[in-house]
Structure 1
């Protein structure tokens, strides 16, 4: 049979296996991700206290020392503890996306713990701050670790109190008995909250695919129009490429503000700053459009699979904190993805109260766009088959 004689028949199994293998790799980051070295701040403002036997005690320092002793050199831990000097510094770090969470030991912690053995006990308090806007998954995971740690401290304090009461004859007041259940009060505070109508904090990721696919479609359509045009000389081609860039800018404004409107009305997402979000998405679309157009002008329409593969490899990583990725994905894939700057910029707009300004995300998108423009205009000096035919 002719079918069996066709070499494509024998190549097809290899192609199928290759495709399955490549796209299976895109699933690896989302399968049982384990956190490693998530930055969490700890601030100890405990002033200490004096015990009845005149010895000094500082439970805040004891907690810090216990945390240090649990760190094993050369071994990854879910939490990377960062000691901070003051609560003000913690707040600044949370707003600058340095920490996923923070643990604060207040100045009266030891004093209140000593009071637990007196007739008028006051429950000592530990505060846990979760930086939801930075990444909900990482913040919740860090919160679970911190909650478990405070529960462990509670168990130790409860044991110490029972031993102390037993030494005193076993008599305790009603207030003391009530506090034995949970001697230390744990207060969890969400900062840079994701709020409602945010797709559980994944609104930035939700808006990525429409922009990415729209930029591919826009760049491909305009490229095909340009490629069918016969340019007599480089000047004409320069004009053609300039028109291509201008059309991309128009499409960017339509796509940016159009998606912002659709997200707020049809998808029901909470868009805090409509104008700023529209401008940022327009910049994002324009950057992606220029990048894709530059590749197409040099490689032709066969360059499209590059950006489809980027979508499949990049999409699973966008909602995932870098600390949850393997070193390969974190260093060699995530760090090179241009779309991650879109997600970071939208998080700042949605959850950190920032507007459209010269932020790190805007800077990176701008530089990628400018680099793409240079490559795009560089294609003016590349001769195509139609130009060669026209010269003949």
Structure 2
């Protein structure tokens, strides 16, 4: 008897799918909308550095400004003021991407301020230098730069209040003394060409991970179809092959062998297109290529392992872990200091964040291992090894305790090769 849609829909199973898809939509909304809609409200401890180079003489103001900034730190504060011992230490922290902006109280600042209280204060403004870090990302850099500018404005008001009694009848001098301290804002580094104002690391990591996810799905589907475990359907044609007598472990090994060739090919294609076709400036191409292969392989291995353990549901789980939860917690679109605490916690261990950190260090921080590469390799290595072990061990267990995947003998299994004359 022919089965109709009405008979299928009369059962509760199809309607359970409505609940499942709604739950998936809720997870997606919680991650992306809940994680990214309110960066200002979620903001905690955005790191800004302050260093005092105004150390000559006993009556210098720099030390007091540094103390005032750091003393304003609170556990739940939006800005975390950090200090550096000198400008060399400041450069080290900026080169590692540990802070998003730096404020420098320059040498001679106190003298310039004290000169304003003299009989002839002159017409020059005491300057405080602000260094921004565009490589940290547009949101991180602009937020830290705004905090630095606010610090300069507050300092200027404090100095102006102290100079109110300075005698001057000159309107220009009065204007100068009303807002005497100015910010000299410059980028700490110039970004490489065509890197999306510092967002290039995020976009490149996203492309590599999506490529790995798609590769895993295509490899899994194509090999399972070729081995007879899935039907082949193209338009109106449907072909069902006899299942080959191969166990789950060797099926997984077959997919790994294809992935071992696909991951370098995918990475090469993506990086060459980025560099040659779209003009992205990549100084450390070889290092980025090796790291990119690791990103693609890790992503694909995680998905293949999940597919081998839970079947088609593995693709959904892979999307949730790697993309739905991975992107908002990665620090790519917004810095981790501007997402909810749960997202910060997830970001510590998920592959997306580590992929971005490593690529950012290679693109913008001269390939420094202490700028994020070493930690990223450790985390990606744990994911890769875990996926490899689970993808082999669990199917091996399935092969031992359950029936073979093939329900009947493939004709090739019954073929006995003829002896070859020597």
State the Cα distance separating 1:7 from its structure 2 match: 2.2
Alpha-carbon distance between aligned partners in 2 of 1:387 and 1:47, rounded to the nearest angstrom? 76
| Length, aligned pairs only | 375
8 Å Cα contact 1:294/1:373 also seen in 2? yes
Partner of 1:211: 208
Runs of 4+ in 1 over 6 A off after TM superposition: 355-358
Q: CA offsets, 1:314-354, max 9 Å, x none?
A: 223332211111111211x2223212111111111211121
State the Cα distance separating 1:211 from its structure 2 match: 2.3
Partner of 1:376: 391
Partner of 2:195: 198
Partner of 2:28: 23
8 Å Cα contact 1:133/1:201 also seen in 2? yes
Q: Judging changes above 3 Å, is the alpha-carbon distance between structure 1 residues 372 and 192 closer, same or farther for their aligned structure 2 residues?
A: farther
- 1:364 is aligned, of 348, 372, 379, to 379
Q: Secondary structure at the match of 2:314?
A: helix
For 1:161-176, what aligned pairs fall within 5 Å after superposition?
161-165=163-167, 170-171=168-169, 176=173
In structure 1, runs of 5+ residues without a counterpart are 50-55
8 Å Cα contact 1:47/1:110 also seen in 2? no
Q: Secondary structure at the match of 1:104?
A: strand
The range that moved more, 98-107 or 188-197, is: 188-197
Partner of 2:325: 313
The range that moved more, 335-344 or 112-121, is: 112-121
Q: Judging changes above 3 Å, is the alpha-carbon distance between structure 1 residues 47 and 213 closer, same or farther for their aligned structure 2 residues?
A: closer
Alpha-carbon distance between aligned partners in 1 of 2:217 and 2:256, rounded to the nearest angstrom? 13
8 Å Cα contact 2:96/2:368 also seen in 1? no
Q: Judging changes above 3 Å, is the alpha-carbon distance between structure 1 residues 171 and 356 closer, same or farther for their aligned structure 2 residues?
A: closer
8 Å Cα contact 2:136/2:198 also seen in 1? no
State the Cα distance separating 1:153 from its structure 2 match: 1.4
8 Å Cα contact 2:109/2:127 also seen in 1? yes
Q: Secondary structure at the match of 1:163?
A: coil
Partner of 2:286: 275
Superposed CA RMSD in Å reads 3.1
Partner of 1:52: none
Alpha-carbon distance between aligned partners in 2 of 1:99 and 1:355, rounded to the nearest angstrom? 15
Partner of 2:308: 297
Partner of 2:63: 61
8 Å Cα contact 1:280/1:356 also seen in 2? no
Partner of 1:53: none
Partner of 1:335: 348
Partner of 2:83: 83
State the Cα distance separating 1:390 from its structure 2 match: 6.7
Alpha-carbon distance between aligned partners in 2 of 1:309 and 1:368, rounded to the nearest angstrom? 15
State the Cα distance separating 1:223 from its structure 2 match: 2.8
8 Å Cα contact 2:361/2:369 also seen in 1? no
- 1:39 is aligned, of 47, 51, 58, to 47
In structure 2, runs of 5+ residues without a counterpart are 1-5, 229-242, 410-422
User: Does 2:221 match 1:220?
Assistant: no
8 Å Cα contact 1:95/1:192 also seen in 2? no
- 1:353 is aligned, of 366, 389, 392, to 366
Alpha-carbon distance between aligned partners in 2 of 1:270 and 1:251, rounded to the nearest angstrom? 24
Q: Secondary structure at the match of 1:146?
A: helix
For 1:107-122, what aligned pairs fall within 5 Å after superposition?
107-118=107-118, 119=120, 121=122
Alpha-carbon distance between aligned partners in 2 of 1:147 and 1:62, rounded to the nearest angstrom? 18
For 1:154-165, what aligned pairs fall within 5 Å after superposition?
154-165=156-167
State the Cα distance separating 1:79 from its structure 2 match: 0.9
Q: Secondary structure at the match of 2:44?
A: coil
- 2:404 is aligned, of 361, 386, 389, to 386
Alpha-carbon distance between aligned partners in 1 of 2:408 and 2:131, rounded to the nearest angstrom? 68
Alpha-carbon distance between aligned partners in 1 of 2:375 and 2:190, rounded to the nearest angstrom? 21
Alpha-carbon distance between aligned partners in 1 of 2:153 and 2:35, rounded to the nearest angstrom? 31
- 1:134 is aligned, of 119, 133, 136, to 136
Q: Judging changes above 3 Å, is the alpha-carbon distance between structure 1 residues 4 and 303 closer, same or farther for their aligned structure 2 residues?
A: closer
TM-score in terms of structure 1 length: 0.84
8 Å Cα contact 1:193/1:351 also seen in 2? no
